[in-house]
Structures are given as structure tokens and as C-alpha cells.
Amino acid sequence: MNNNEYTPSQFPELALNVLKREEHNISRKQISDNALKVLYRLNGAGFEAYLVGGGVRDLLLGLGPKDFDIATNATPEQIKHLFRNCRLIGRRFRLAHIMFGRDIIEVATFRGHHQEPSKNVSAQSDEGMLLRDNVYGSIDEDAERRDFSINAMYYNISDYSIHDYAGGVEDLEDKLIRLIGDPEVRYREDPVRMLRAIRFAAKLDFDIEEDTAAPIEELAQLLQGIPSARLYEESLKLLQSGYGLETYHLMREYNLFQQMFPTIAEHFTEDYSSPTEQMLDLVFDSTDLRIEDGKRINPAFMFAAMLWYPLNTLADKLMAERKLGHYDAIMEASNIILDAQVKTIAIPRRHTATIREIWQLQLRLPRRNGKRAFRLMELNKFRAGFDFLEMRGEVEEGDTKKLADWWNTFQNAGRNMRQAMTADLEDTGSKTPYRRRRNNRNKKNKPS
């Protein structure tokens, strides 16, 4: 038998526990109207229909679910026949998206085991990773295929009961993240499950159960086989969901962050004291606070901060080896650093363009003489560049901190005060470092 194939014997004996309506705290009032519409229409058409996964988990915990996902025994084609506002997506596993304006209700057909040839439309890599997974089955099989026990609970719209297949209610009470089945097999099947374990642990403030945690560090390198576009989406879920700082530390503990950001990992120290590590703590903490305050966040800012000190280290190396000026070295290093990072995490071009702008502003912000300061403030990305300068000031202190303080005062000053501040720079002979050398094309035509 191929150890990477699913068989029921690989799973623990799943004992169904049914909680009647009076035995749990979930009310239909807490479920979105659109999700209820989908559940009722499926049920009314004679299909099984369950709210499943994170929605059930979060409702039991008293949290507001971000999404309401539904599982059913209807096939994607049958779902599409029932809903005119349905769009079928996915290759790895076909899903139905029911569109209500911007609100999307995701509906999945129950998944089955791979060893059933009549239902099998699946494929795996040699390492056991699922490439396609359109294998349909029963709700019992679907529960076994779920990743974690706390995600294998189903809210039945027909009688408002909860079907708990893997002890999820007990694990919620014990605050445990526990994988269903053999952890090594499940991680090899989909290495992103290691990231999901970390994300749930950080978000819910749960512990990762011992057997679930044991293989992660050794299998972490399997993430290198995950498409970079998928890892980009996962990186945002991990680091920009309001628990980024805790998530980063957990990822690093289990050797996962190192796989996704190898260039950054080169700067890790035992005591977390490098400028890179200080900046990581700052940017993740800042992002978490912004999310808590309901402020907008930009992935480009986070990546610019994360990669800044690796960029500067490489620029210093290029200056020494190729005799480049500082500006040219920074520009060349930015190309190399971003090219290397997008191979692992496919940061979109719109974000890499912003990252470059934020970096370039770090070279321009010291140049405040004359009207330059006024012009810089008019730039679209000035605020992001300044916010990053302030973070650098916390890490580097000294002149960088003084520069950040100057810009903070300048922004909040009146026009007369601003003019006095720039005039003072002229009077004190303030230098403008990082000046780009330009060839004066007219110099040779000037009379001697």
C-alpha cells in the first residue's frame, strides 16, 4: 500500500457526537442572511446542507466569523443548477461560489477517499502532495478529510444540531489545535497545513497538540514546493490578520518563516538582536495595532520594512565589490532582493513598485534643502516613506532618529515655521547625503 494514499485506517476512530439545539450556543441570528438562503435552498431541494469549518468554530467560541462556508452532498453542477448567481471555481477541488454582490458564500461538495476508483478524479505528487482532489463522498468521509478537529464540526440546518466528528468541541474547551489523522501524511499531502496550524494557534491563543506539532520543523522545507502565488496569499493571512507578531514568532520557532523568507532568515541571531529582527518586531506589532484600530494596511509597506536591512547589507557588499556609489548600489540590490523574494512569495508588481518607492524615499528624505522638503511632502507615497523612517529611527537611533523627528515637526508646523526650518538647514550647512551623481552634459560646452 502507498503510505501517501488515504485509507480509513489511517484516521483515528471518529466518533460522531451530535449536539442538539439546546446543547450549544449557536443561533441562526448569528449566521449571515445570505448563508441562510443558501442553506435553506439546498435543504429544500432535498440535499444535505451544513455550515462547516471556521464559521462553526468561531460561533461556538463567541467570535464573529469572517466567512460562512457550506458543505453539501450536491455536486458543483447541481449547485450551479439551483443558483443563477453561482460560479464554479478551482482545479485542485471544484467549489461553488454563490455571489450576493460582494458577499460570497462558498459551497463545497463532501469529499471522499482516494481509493474509490468510481469517484476518483485526484492526483498526487511523488511526495504525497495533492495536485487534484475532486473526489466526492459522504459527510463522514468529508469529516475525516478535514484538517483539524476544530474544523470538523457541522451545523445542520434541518434541525439546528451540531455534528462533531473528531472531538472538536472538547478541543475547543481544552484550547488545542489537533490534526485529524497521521500528521506526517497530512502535512505531506498539503504542506500549507503547517502554516494553518500556526495561524489558528496564534489567532485563537491555543496550543498545538504535541503529535500535531512534532513533525513540523523537520517537514518545513516542503513549503518550498508550494506555488509562490499561493504562499503570497498565505503570507497575508498569517501576517496581516491582526496576530502577525505572535504568528511570526511561532513560524520562526517551527522553521517555517525561514522557508518563506530565506533572505531575511540569513540575518537571524540567537538573541533576536539584529536590526532586521528589531524591524520585524516593530512592523508586525504596528500592523497588528492598525488592524485593531480599524485602519487600512498595505502589504507593500510590510514587505518594504521586512526586507530593508537585507537590502542594505547587500548594497554595502556591492559598493565594496563593484565600487558602486551608494544610490546605484541600493538600486541594484533592490532588484536582486525582490527577484529572490518573489521566487518564494509572488508579491504582485503593484506592490513591488510601491516597495521601491518607499525605499527610494529613504534616500531622498535626508535632502531637505530649499524647496525639496515641500516637494517631498506632495509625493503620493510620502506618508508611507515617513512612517518607515520613523521605524528606522527606533531601530537605528542617532541621525536617523533626528531626521525622523525633524520631519515630524515639519509636517505639523505652519508655513512660516517650515520655511524657517529649511532656512536653518542652509545656515548650518546641512549636507544632503545620498546625492545621485549626474553628468553635466553642458559642462564641456561652457567657455573656459
Catalytic residues: 67, 69, 147
SS3 label, residue 57: helix
Long-range pairs of 197-203 with CB within 8 A, sequence gap ≥ 24? 197/148, 198/238, 198/247, 198/250, 198/251, 198/254, 198/256, 199/237, 199/238, 199/241, 199/243, 199/247, 200/148, 200/150, 201/177, 201/250, 202/243, 202/246, 202/247, 202/250, 203/241, 203/242, 203/243
Our CA dihedral for 257, 261, 262, 268, rounded to 10 degrees, sits at -60
Structural contact between residues 177 and 201, judged by C-beta atoms closer than 8 angstroms: yes
Beta bridge partners of 69: 52
- Phi then psi for residue 435, to 5 deg, are -65, 130
Q: Which three cell numbers stand for residue 135?
A: 473526489
DSSP string, 72-108: ESS-HHHHHHH-TTEEEE-SSS-EEEEEETTEEEEEE
Q: How many CB atoms lie within 10 A of CB 399?
A: 11
Beta bridge partners of 156: 50
Q: Which three cell numbers stand for residue 189?
A: 499531502
Beta bridge partners of 18: 163
Q: Give the CA distances from residue 21 to residues 26, 140, 164, 166, in Å, rounded to whole numbers and listed in that order.
A: 8, 21, 13, 19
- Which run of H or E residues covers position 426? helix 415-427
Q: Give the CA distances from residue 64 to residues 31, 55, 59, 160, in Å, rounded to whole numbers and listed in that order.
A: 9, 8, 7, 18
